[in-house]
Structure 1
Amino acid sequence: MANVSRNKARIHRHLRVRKNIFGVADKPRLCVYRSLNDIYAQIIDDEKGITLVSSSSIDHELRAQVEKMTKTEQAVAVGKNIAERAKEKKISEVVFDRGGYQYMGRVKALADAAREAGLKF
């Protein structure tokens, strides 16, 4: 399967899942994007259409730490960081959006780290 069609299939899966997942003010959406080298996470309020909190492996805070980590360890660091930032904004409960990716590997590591750090979903 070519990379282009693989990504189109992921986007199609993501759109299909997004019909049922919607972030509101009480329970915003934790969205994950996984590129080849990095991982990104945002907490989004879909009613207002704004990003409340974001974190990634290319963040200035995390960049020095994650250079020597594996990709899965980077996902764990991003998961902990986004949970800490969410606590600062008084967000405790979210809806998890895996972005069309399988719930395994880096996506699962990020989700588990966010749960351990205090986010509920």
Structure 2
Amino acid sequence: MSTVDRKKERQRRKVRIKYKIRGTAERPRLCVYKSLKHIYAQIIDDESGRTIVSASTLDLDLRDKVKGSNITSAKVVGEAIAKKALEKGIEKVVFDRNGYIYHGKVKALADSARAAGLKF
């Protein structure tokens, strides 16, 4: 019997999702990455290949509000990415969960970004 390699399975899901989700200048991609210690969010324009806005638990303005990678930290990062995006004039995005299950930290980040004004 073979064991399930969780990282490899997430990478497979990520590739499968990547074919369907593309960020454009009008509607860039909100990509989420989480590690055991931190959570990161980026808004990416895939046509030009550049990151427009980013936020994470490592940001200096968020460090005192968060501790580690938990659901409350994900909510704070979601609010921060939404505020930065709205300042840049981005209202609509495509959500890329990056192969993660839409549950827990990923769901908390998405819900707080929606509540702060992003549409997806």
TM norm. shorter chain > 0.5: yes
Q: CA deviation at 1:70?
A: 6.8
**Bigger proportion of residues as helix:** 1
Q: Structure 2 CA distance, aligned partners of 1:15 and 1:55?
A: 23
Q: Which residue in the other structure is 1:113 paired with?
A: 112
- TM-score, with normalisation over the residues of structure 1? 0.94
Instruction: Report the TM-score, using the length of structure 2 for normalisation.
Output: 0.94
Task: Note the C-alpha offset of 1:61.
Answer: 0.8
Paired position in structure 1 for 2:98: 99
2:24–2:46 CA contact under 8 A, matched in 1: yes
Aligned partner of 2:24 in structure 1 is 24
Does structure 1 conserve the Cα–Cα contact (< 8 Å) formed by 2:43 and 2:53?
Answer: yes
86 and 65 in structure 1: CA distance in 2 versus 1, 3 angstrom threshold: same
- Structure 2: gaps of 5 or more residues: none
Per the alignment, residue 40 of structure 2 pairs with: 40
1:7 maps to what in 2? 7
- Among the aligned pairs, what percent are the same residue? 55
